[in-house]
């Protein structure tokens, strides 16, 4: 009975410690009511004040108005009697001084904040209405600050004062692909490629280099041995964010992407406003890349001959929606089938009409020399830029210029918000070019329009028309003609339309792009993509997915047509039966393909198997078999595929995408971050800790990288406590961070690993520590509370650990755990000396 009552009393004491900290009148406890054999040896003076927190150091997260600021950190609680005023909690709980900027206070509020304790702690008591509470169960210090003391903020934006530049670090991000095929003719082919971004961060600067390499070999059969290889660093550059200007400064080899001018390469310096830094998020536009893969295929997207995206897809229709919205201009897309066949087309990253919020200025300034073939300079210095100003809610004006010794251009435009009728912009561009044998001057006119018809769920994402004089030249055309003496292609007219229509269970997309030229044949591309879901209730099949797509690409007078019907039927647990009917026609020769397959997804593992039959275009019932599998892992994302066409060829291919990041905390292999912002999570000395929402765990050094963190926006990371091993306990379960572009962020999340057991604590004089004494490890993390007769439930203990026992605001003795601990022991004796 005594043991049962003692356990109940321990629960009461634990509940008392979970009260948020606030100061009130003290309360005297009568220990005579406790049915304990050593009632005289009970220290509950710490509970005399409501929400009393024992003085000492605690590892806590700081929250301001519910938002976490910075990493968890050491917070000191001072004895009340040592402070000048026991009623001022800000003089009792030490908020480290380096948190002042993270609070997002106005300049006036910062001047009111005082410091104390050798200028190490913040006193916020002068900010009327500001409150502080300590919530030890959730390891949190919670601040409530009136809005009048804070900078502007909204739920989707964090003030610049809370942005972090990250830590010093270096990395290599990569995508490696390898494929091989053997043909019945006796020939063989091997193709390998690798591309990515490497770099390092130091302070506010990000130093980067983009690289690519490839190897190709064909041998046997009627072919002589043909071998080619290439390796190059496509560009070297550095950039940094400038918070005060809401802009990015870039130096080195770069691409000038503009909403007014065609893209061009240069070596120099750029300063451009970055909308991502602004409170009202202005979402940039990037088109989807839609197509149909005949086999296991690699999709390669290039801008200015630089690979900006490479991924693998299984047979069937695909839609890629991960294109960076900062990339503008014409993109070249290659679909490389596993049999070596390649199909190419172009898409335009046309932007929405150039509108700017009232009173806001958006700009991009550049100075440097044009370049070609990655690193070669033309010798011509160019200065230029573009700017847009929001005159009112309805009107925006914009313009720009590019000036060089042998080339000048100027552009002016106007944008109009037509309210319920959409948005419209018009601009005109005048160029003056001095070529080697003549001077050219011309104009280019452009109209852009966009509109969302919410009432009918229709969105004209972009519609545009452009007409260009025959003698109009871009800066890239001018420099190329002067360098080679050959006429560049001259665009004449361009039409572009992107239309989306949405129903409850049906979506329809249409895109059309037509380009004519003064000195070459026209090009046309258009397509329709429809998707719906439906159920067959009579046979209890739900969520059947049906996709119908049709595409035509016309180049050099040759039509390349594709028509595809794709049906996916849910089957079994997470799997789908797939059926595909495909018709392709090139240069008046048609081909039919019928296939059936099975696909599925399970905890980061995606797989598919297909069998098909092809006929037409001089092919007589050609069968084919293929398989595809991909896996998202802690160290990388990997994919593999195999194809077999009897009587034709067999092939194998694989790819792996990932990165290696090194900091003062160690090296980490991780999923791909594509040269962008990333967050390093450390669980000191504890490996195998699962990260929530990510298919990853901390490595042998307790490190993990969360890739592709959104810049300038608050991001969260959490430990998946439901998947923690039984002998793990998470002290920090969640953290928030807001990083500048390209930063390597860092957060430490404490996890303890060890046994959970009952123990009896006995001091050298044979007595027990008082009821309510705290047992802590070397990091001052509380592992248990002493109960009646020295009994305690402790967690996170291991062999040879040294633990401290605290009461009366001081450490009173030390527990040295034995070299071996039997977790099955019902009661471990812990001598405290």
Write phi, then psi, for 272 (nearest 5 degrees): -140, 145
Q: How far apart are the first and last CA of the chain?
A: 30
Closest among 519, 266, 516 to 407, alpha carbons compared: 266
Radius of gyration of the chain (CA): 33
Give CA–CA dist 122/124, Å, rounded: 6
Query: What are 452-488's pLDDT values in tens digits?
Result: 665 566 666 667 889 999 999 999 899 888 888 888 7
Residue 239: its pLDDT value, please? 98
Residue 19: its pLDDT value, please? 38
Place of tokens 């292999």: 669
Closest among 610, 531, 609 to 565, alpha carbons compared: 531
Give CA–CA dist 662/826, Å, rounded: 45
Give CA–CA dist 780/763, Å, rounded: 20
Structural tokens at position 702 = 């307790």
Residue 348: its pLDDT value, please? 59
Residues 6+ apart with CB under 8 A from 455: none
Give CA–CA dist 529/511, Å, rounded: 9
CATH entry 3.30.70.20 includes domain 754-832? no
The class that CATH gives domain 53-162 is: alpha beta
The SS3 assignment for 19 reads coil
The SS3 assignment for 6 reads helix
Residue 226: its pLDDT value, please? 86
Residue 34: its pLDDT value, please? 54
Closest among 168, 164, 165, 177 to 661, alpha carbons compared: 168
Give CA–CA dist 270/709, Å, rounded: 24
Enumerate the β-bridge partners of residue 607: 600, 629
Residue 12: its pLDDT value, please? 37
pTM of the model: 0.77
DSSP string, 720-738: -GGGS-TTEEES--EEEE-
Query: What are 581-616's pLDDT values in tens digits?
Result: 999 988 778 889 999 999 998 878 999 999 999 998
**Other residues' Cβ atoms within 10 Å of the Cβ of residue 584:** 21
List of the chain residues with pLDDT < 50: 1-27, 82-86, 281-286, 350
Please give the C-alpha separations between residue 443 and each of 166, 427, 440, in angstroms, as whole numbers. Answer: 46, 11, 10
Give CA–CA dist 457/465, Å, rounded: 24
Where would I find the H helices in 137-229? Answer: none
- How many helices (H) and strands (E) are present in the chain, helices listed first? 3, 52
Residue 791: its pLDDT value, please? 94
Residue 28: its pLDDT value, please? 53
Give CA–CA dist 770/31, Å, rounded: 12
DSSP string, 669-738: EES--TTS-EEEEE-TT---PBBTTSS-B--TTSEEEE-SPPTTS-EEEEB-GGGS-TTEEES--EEEE-
Q: What CATH architecture is 165-177+186-215+654-753?
A: Sandwich (2.60)
Residue 24: its pLDDT value, please? 40
Enumerate the β-bridge partners of residue 760: 791, 829
Handedness of CA 234, 237, 243, 245 (dihedral sign): negative
Enumerate the β-bridge partners of residue 311: 299
Residue 9: its pLDDT value, please? 41
Residues 6+ apart with CB under 8 A from 390: 355, 356, 357, 358, 359, 360, 361, 396
Residue 225: its pLDDT value, please? 81
Domain ranges of the chain: 53-162, 165-177+186-215+654-753, 754-832
Does the fold of domain 165-177+186-215+654-753 match that of domain 53-162? no
The SS3 assignment for 33 reads helix
Give CA–CA dist 749/734, Å, rounded: 8
| Residues 233/209, Cβ–Cβ less than 8 Å | yes
């Amino acid at each position: 009975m005594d043991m049962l009552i003692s356990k109940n009393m321990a629960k009461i004491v634990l509940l008392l410690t979970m009260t948020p900290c606030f100061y009130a009148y003290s309360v005297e406890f009568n220990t005579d009511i406790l049915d304990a054999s050593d009632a005289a040896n009970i220290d509950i003076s710490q509970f005399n004040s409501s929400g009393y927190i024992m003085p000492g150091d605690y590892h806590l997260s700081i929250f301001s108005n519910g938002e976490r600021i910075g990493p968890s950190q050491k917070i000191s609680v001072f004895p009340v009697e040592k402070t000048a005023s026991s009623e001022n909690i800000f003089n009792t709980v030490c908020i480290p001084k380096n948190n002042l900027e993270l609070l997002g206070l106005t300049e006036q509020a910062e001047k009111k904040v005082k410091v104390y304790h050798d200028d190490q702690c913040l006193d916020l008591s002068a900010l009327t209405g500001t409150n502080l509470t300590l919530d030890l169960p959730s390891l949190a210090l919670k601040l409530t600050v009136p809005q009048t003391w804070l900078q502007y903020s909204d739920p989707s934006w964090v003030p610049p004062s809370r942005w972090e530049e990250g830590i010093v670090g270096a990395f290599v991000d990569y995508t490696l692909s390898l494929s091989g095929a053997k043909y019945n003719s006796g020939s063989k082919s091997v193709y390998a490629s690798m591309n990515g971004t490497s770099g390092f961060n130091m302070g506010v600067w990000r130093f980067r280099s983009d690289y690519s390499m490839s190897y190709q070999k064909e041998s046997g059969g009627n072919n002589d041995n043909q071998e080619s290889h290439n390796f190059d660093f496509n560009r070297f550059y550095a950039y940094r964010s400038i918070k005060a200007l809401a802009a990015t400064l870039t130096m080195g080899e770069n691409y000038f992407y503009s909403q007014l001018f065609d893209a061009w390469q240069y070596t120099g310096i750029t300063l451009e406003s970055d909308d991502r830094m602004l409170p009202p998020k202005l979402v940039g536009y990037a088109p989807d890349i839609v197509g149909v893969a005949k086999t296991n295929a690699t999709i390669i997207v290039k801008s200015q001959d630089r690979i900006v995206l490479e991924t693998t897809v299984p047979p069937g229709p695909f839609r890629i929606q991960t294109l960076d919205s900062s990339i503008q201009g014409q993109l070249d897309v290659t679909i490389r089938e596993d049999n070596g066949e390649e199909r190419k087309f172009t898409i335009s990253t046309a932007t929405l009409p150039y509108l700017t919020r009232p009173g806001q200025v958006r700009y991009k300034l550049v100075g440097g020399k044009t370049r070609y073939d990655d690193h070669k300079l033309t010798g011509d210095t160019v200065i230029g830029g573009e700017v847009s100003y929001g005159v009112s809610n309805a009107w925006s004006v914009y313009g720009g210029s590019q000036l060089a010794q042998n080339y000048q251009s100027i552009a002016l435009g106007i944008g109009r918000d037509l309210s319920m009728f959409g948005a419209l912009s018009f601009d005109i561009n005048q160029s003056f070019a001095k070529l080697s044998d003549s001077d050219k001057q011309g104009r280019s006119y452009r109209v852009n329009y966009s509109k969302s018809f919410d009432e009918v769920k229709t969105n004209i994402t972009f519609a545009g028309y452009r007409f260009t004089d025959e003698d109009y030249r871009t800066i890239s055309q001018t420099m190329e003609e002067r360098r080679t003496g050959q006429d560049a292609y001259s665009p004449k007219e361009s039409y572009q339309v992107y239309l989306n229509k949405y129903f409850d269970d049906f979506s329809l997309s249409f895109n059309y792009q037509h380009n004519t030229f003064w000195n070459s044949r026209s090009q046309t591309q258009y397509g329709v993509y429809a998707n719906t879901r439906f159920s067959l209730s009579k046979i209890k099949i739900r969520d059947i997915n049906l996709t119908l797509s049709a595409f035509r690409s016309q180049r050099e007078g040759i039509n390349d047509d594709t028509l595809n019907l794709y049906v996916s039927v849910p089957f079994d647990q997470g799997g789908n039966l797939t059926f595909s009917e495909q018709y392709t026609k090139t240069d008046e020769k048609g081909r039919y393909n019928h296939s059936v397959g099975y696909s599925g997804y399970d905890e980061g593992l995606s797989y598919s198997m297909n069998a098909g039959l092809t006929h037409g275009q001089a092919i007589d019932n050609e069968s084919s078999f293929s398989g595809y599998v991909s896996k998202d892992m802690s160290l990388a994302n990997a994919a593999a595929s195999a194809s077999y066409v009897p009587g034709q060829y067999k092939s194998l291919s694989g790819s792996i995408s990932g990165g290696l990041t090194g900091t003062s905390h160690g090296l980490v292999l991780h999923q791909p971050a594509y040269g962008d912002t990333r967050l390093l999570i450390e669980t000191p000395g504890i490996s195998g800790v699962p990260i929530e929402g990510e298919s990853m765990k901390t490595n042998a050094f307790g490190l993990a990288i969360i890739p592709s963190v959104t810049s300038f926006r608050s991001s969260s990371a959490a430990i998946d406590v439901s998947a923690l091993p039984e002998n793990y306990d998470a002290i920090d379960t969640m953290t928030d961070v807001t990083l500048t572009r390209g930063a390597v962020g860092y957060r430490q999340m404490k996890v303890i690993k060890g046994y959970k057991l009952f123990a009896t604590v006995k001091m050298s004089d044979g007595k027990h520590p008082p009821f309510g004494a705290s047992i802590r490890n070397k990091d001052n993390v509380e592992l248990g509370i002493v109960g009646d007769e020295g009994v305690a439930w402790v967690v996170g203990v291991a062999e040879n650990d040294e633990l401290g026992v605290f009461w009366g605001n001081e450490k009173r003795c030390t527990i040295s755990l034995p070299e071996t601990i039997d977790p099955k022991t019902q009661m471990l004796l812990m001598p405290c000396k």
